[in-house]
Structure 1
Amino acid sequence: MLMEKAKTGMTPMKEDYLKIIFELGGATDKVSNKQIAISLNIAAGSVTEMIGKMAEEGYVIHEPYAGITLTQRGIDAAVVLVRNHRLWETFLVKRLGYPLPDLDVEAEKLEHVTSERLANALDDALGHPTHCPHGGIIPDRTGHYDEETHLILNDVADGETVTVSRFIDNHDLLTYLGDIKLDIGDQLTVKKHDPFEGPVLVENLTDKQNLTIGYKAAHYIFVE
């Protein structure tokens, strides 16, 4: 059984850190302060301070100049949060017809008050979905999940072709991706990375159009 959602001393901000570290691959790989700062849209100094607190509390291991990984305690907590969040996102789309960009704000509120019993009831009612609407894997009620790609578009070399697999559920990002008509499953060939944190130029082979994707947005798009 997954542990109950309530966790002593776990604030919503710390929960956001756990989720993003997990989403960036911190259960198995090292995640940098910069990745977290870009993904949460906060200053790097704030990340350093929070990571220090979370290391003291046993949720992460921080190796200076190497990166951050989740401890088993951190993984267990992150899995519950991610499961609750993504189940609610799926419910909001499938049952209530919410548009993709509006999911995160609502799911963020709901995940913090979701018991294990409620999460399991949602899972049953939805037919045990394996992925949320923006492509993220939903852990099952035992905490099992298949490993998902942690390769971001910004790290793909020029000339390589990849498939879009998921997005970070950020309102501004999802609105932006809707505007440029980039979808999960699209095949992209990376043409060029502009220097000095400039945009990534890609050809969308699925829609047969060229796209210019901003530096920050390219950190929110996972590919394989």
Structure 2
Amino acid sequence: MTPMKEDYIKIIFELGGTERKISNKEIAIGLDVAAGSVTEMVAKMVEEKLVIHEPYAGITLTELGHQLAIELVRKHRLWETFLVDDLKYEVADVHSEAEVLEHQTSDKLAAALYTFLGKPEFCPHGGVIPDEDGNYPESSNAVLADVVDGQTVEIARIIDNHDLLIYLHDLGVMAHTKIEVLKHEPFEGPIIVKRLVDGDQINISFKAAHNIFVQ
């Protein structure tokens, strides 16, 4: 399977594609690719029985696609956790390293790493880590972009994208950060939020706000 196809499987999983229907637009924003590219790749994945695509409704992972996503996500996020917790990497810097390591990780090594790390349920940016049987805790699918002005929320997880993690790291926004949504600027402008820990106001881009999940 190509790395690009793996990226599609992972992003559909991250966007909640086992529980709800994901739109082409959401995938395009998450992967920062053109809408036409999404249409083409989704068609190939339908042929390979990795996803189900209902026109005008959305995309969900099949059982096969879900199992592949679990395997990819589990190994990737175990390495991210190890790099941050034990090698003291910055959260924003681990994605590319974990991307390489996950493809060289046997099931036996993944199991040993999982035990060594204390069987974590979440990675450093809040993503779920499936256990040996593919089970994982429920995760919020509510995105920051949809939070109404005046509401206070906590960031639950952030899509595993290198550029996004660096962008949010520079803003001082990460998993478990509590914020108040102050204003949605019109015409796909930024969402203005206040970080509760220090009262700082932050502008988060429209695109980023669709890849930040809150509770």
TM-score, normalised relative to structure 2: 0.96
The CA distance in 1 between the partners of 2:102 and 2:65, in whole Å, is 17
Is structure 2 residue 182 aligned with structure 1 residue 191? yes
Q: Offset of 1:22 from its aligned partner?
A: 0.4
Secondary structure of residue in 2 paired with 1:196: coil
Q: Which amino acid aligns with 1:211?
A: I
Partner residue in 2 for 1:202: 193
The CA distance in 2 between the partners of 1:183 and 1:18, in whole Å, is 24
The CA distance in 1 between the partners of 2:172 and 2:92, in whole Å, is 13
Any residues of structure 2 matched to 1:108-187 within 5 Å, and which?
A: 108-187=99-178
Partner residue in 2 for 1:6: none
Secondary structure of residue in 1 paired with 2:133: coil
User: Once the two structures are superposed, what CA deviation does each residue of 1:33-82 show, in whole Å capped at 9, x if it has no partner?
Assistant: 01100110110100000000001111100011111001111111101111
Partner residue in 1 for 2:7: 16
How many pairs align?
215
Q: Which amino acid aligns with 1:164?
A: I
Partner residue in 1 for 2:50: 59
Q: Give the conservation status (yes or no) of the 8 Å contact 2:158–2:174.
A: no
The CA distance in 1 between the partners of 2:163 and 2:8, in whole Å, is 19
Query: Runs of at least 4 residues of structure 1 off by over 3 A?
Result: none
Q: Which amino acid aligns with 1:74?
A: G
The CA distance in 2 between the partners of 1:138 and 1:207, in whole Å, is 30
The CA distance in 2 between the partners of 1:174 and 1:20, in whole Å, is 15
Structure 1 gaps of 5+ residues are 1-9
Q: Which amino acid aligns with 2:197?
A: T
Partner residue in 2 for 1:221: 212
Any residues of structure 2 matched to 1:91-106 within 5 Å, and which?
A: 91-106=82-97
Q: Offset of 1:32 from its aligned partner?
A: 0.6
Any residues of structure 2 matched to 1:68-79 within 5 Å, and which?
A: 68-79=59-70
The CA distance in 2 between the partners of 1:209 and 1:96, in whole Å, is 30
Q: Which amino acid aligns with 1:36?
A: I
Secondary structure of residue in 1 paired with 2:87: coil
| CA RMSD across the alignment | 1.1
Secondary structure of residue in 2 paired with 1:134: coil
